[in-house]
Structure 1
Amino acid sequence: MQCARKGFHRVDELFESHERVSFGDATIPAYLERTGIQFLYSFDDDFDGIEGISRL
């Protein structure tokens, strides 16, 4: 349960700090960070401002 709360808080942080990222979209970089994945294949340029994530 603690891990789920920690993940939710990170999603909330990303949502609040990136104006163009929706709450649903914020779950993706939070997951990528948690799993150590650095690359995201997406046409959505809203992910471009998130540090540590490279959109391909």
Structure 2
Amino acid sequence: MYTLSAAEAAEDNKARIINVAKTDSVIFHIYFLLFFSLFPSCFSHYMIRDTP
């Protein structure tokens, strides 16, 4: 059993956070694409009309 130094622990946490962020963004993109593929016409029309 070995103890991590502060720098190694920080790197480990950073890598873990990046992994979580990657999987979350993948899931988010899948939902986002599904959402906009199910409702393309009304949402694109609405967004184009709302942009200044």
TM-score range, shorter chain: 0.3 to 0.5
Query: TM (normalized to structure 2)?
Result: 0.38
Counting helix residues as a fraction of each chain, which structure ranks higher?
A: 2
Q: Compare the two structures and name the one with the higher strand fraction.
A: 1
Could you say which structure has the larger radius of gyration? 2
TM-score (norm 1): 0.36
